[in-house]
Amino acid sequence: MTAGNGGPYDEVVGTAMTTVTEAEVLRDALGLLKDREQVAKRLLDSSAKHSFDPDSELDWDAPYEDGKWFWPPELVSLYDTPLWKRMGEEQRILLSQHEAAALASLGIWFEIILMQLLVRHIYDKAATSAHVRYALTEIEDECRHSKMFARLIAHGDTPWYPVSRAHQNLGRVFKTISTTPGSFTATLLGEEVLDWMQRLTFPDERVQPLVRGVTRIHVVEEARHVRYAREELRRQMLTAPRWSQEFTRITSGEFARVFSVAFVNPEVYTNVGLDKREAVAQVRASGHRREVMQTGAKRLTDFLDDIGVLRGMGRRLWRSSGLLA
């Protein structure tokens, strides 16, 4: 890769100024790309075999079990802070329940945005292609997920935790004007960190069976979404116009900052009887929390680094989000 100059690849073909070296670099890079239709066909096969109906798959009638967590304690925002040490077990578990509801609410927000991005992505593409049919399949998955998360929130009498008005409006603009690489970068950001947490949640025997069931279904189906988005983003970062690649670097850094602020709705602290300002300050100062978020984002940031998203100004924004070490 010709690091540093922002990606010459878009102008390689047919541009007299392009050097042979750059053309060779592009040819090698494109050689790494998997065929779009082949990827989509494999994902369609996998969807046909491993898709779940949460309404019939999960036992929604079973009551919650006393003493079980709703999210692994180490992944609860306040874990290991001075405030956490003062809380009793019951209040800690209650906080885990509200954080799970807040993350489910955040998940629904992401999924609604993602569905619109996917609809926009396929708008002018041949509906007969596997690539479009898979996008429609992914939208079906996300419809089931959002309904499943909503049912989970309501099941425990926890409230709906919307993102702030400002973030809602930012999302409204973004999902309307975003470029294709920008859309897939945001998709991965929304999917991969939560996915990392869910992979730790579903096998955890300390956690409520219903939460384990929800996260297991989500992990299985999300693996395909991550694959689809990664393949497409890798392709886009080689073929999109240079301005669009640079725009992706900066906007993705800005999403990372919004993401890390919006990740846990601070109302959860008030609702479990804690002082919201003190709790937010302790989460911000928590070394454990920083490590959790950076570890959760590592697979994603490694990938984005590899395909050239984390450069220049974009990289600085990612750093300031706290997701990149």
Residues near Fe ion (CB under 5 A) are 142, 145, 222, 225
For Fe ion, give the closer residue by CB, 133 or 289.
Answer: 133
Using alpha carbons, select from 303, 30, 53, 60 the residue that is nearest to residue 193.
Answer: 303
Q: Which segments of 240-286 does DSSP mark as H helices, in order?
A: 242-262, 267-271, 276-285
Q: Is 26 exposed, middle or buried (0-12, 13-18, 19+ CB in 10 A)?
A: buried
For Fe ion, give the closer residue by CB, 145 or 289.
Answer: 145
For Fe ion, give the closer residue by CB, 229 or 272.
Answer: 229
Helix (H) and strand (E) counts in the chain: 14, 0
Rounded Cα gap, residues 138 and 97, in angstroms: 28
Rounded Cα gap, residues 141 and 144, in angstroms: 5
Q: Minimum distance from CB of 221 to Fe ion (Å)?
A: 7
Whether 250 and 317 have beta carbons less than 8 Å apart is answered as yes
Q: Minimum distance from CB of 220 to Fe ion (Å)?
A: 11
Quickly count: other Cβ atoms within 10 Å of residue 167's Cβ.
16
Helix (H, G, I), strand (E, B), or coil: what is residue 69? strand
Whether 129 and 157 have beta carbons less than 8 Å apart is answered as no
Using alpha carbons, select from 65, 148, 137 the residue that is nearest to residue 108.
Answer: 148
Taking phi over 0 as left and psi of -120 to 50 as alpha, with beta for the rest, 87 belongs to: beta
Handedness of CA 104, 110, 113, 117 (dihedral sign): negative
For Fe ion, give the closer residue by CB, 140 or 291.
Answer: 140
